[in-house]
Structure 1
Amino acid sequence: MTKTEIAKAFSNGEFELTFQYLADNVLWTVVGENYFDCKKAVMNNCEQVSSYFKSVTTNFKMTNMIADNNLVAVCGTAEFIRDDKKANFVSACDVYEFNGNNKLQTITSYCIQEKNRISE
């Protein structure tokens, strides 16, 4: 996978596809919420998030992707639906930094829940 494919997969919740590309000492910061400081911690959180994704219908939309050398930024939205009703809507930007071995070294996620957003 290319760096942009890895970033897109992670941002879209396809975490298992990205596990082999995580550096052992990867750092994932979900700004204002959580901090995961090694591959095992990141993978454990991904598994918890995946469980939530399986409990709802998800609608991911990527609005922008910017890539420059070892950096990739992915912006988009995620709508979560349960019982035909919107359970949550999030606007997000994930910034990925790859090390010299093309492994994910840092992930910084900015997630904003929008309670009154109506999707198109």
Structure 2
Amino acid sequence: MNKLAEIKLSPDGGFKGFGPLGLEGGQDGVSVFVNFLSSAIGLITIIAIIWFIFIFLIGAVGIISSGGDKNSLESAKKKISSGVIGIAVTILAIFIIKLIGVLLGITDILDFTTMFNSLLIN
């Protein structure tokens, strides 16, 4: 049985710093932020797709189980419509961001590594 003092609290090799004052081999702050931002956008997109599938299936089950009831059928159709609108907005947002980038002259606006490295003052 391990005693409290024997429990390992740090990863093998220790923690790694970032920036010019960080430990040797550490990541810089920009790459840490870029990784976080890319992961967050990817996670939000995946959640939106899963939510769309969930809402679509609930709407489909609602249509099947409506049994001719107009109120239930209308409610199920609204759920499917809101799911389709939600996924369309999610996909459209990516294209709008790319369009804004092209209009502003930032061709790789979704390439966060290039964008943030160009903003750094050296």
Structure 1 length as normaliser, TM-score? 0.29
Structure 2 length as normaliser, TM-score? 0.28
Q: Which has the higher contact order (CA 8 A, sep 6+)?
A: 1
Point out the structure with the larger helix share. 2
Bigger Rg, structure 1 or 2: 2
Point out the structure with the larger strand share. 1
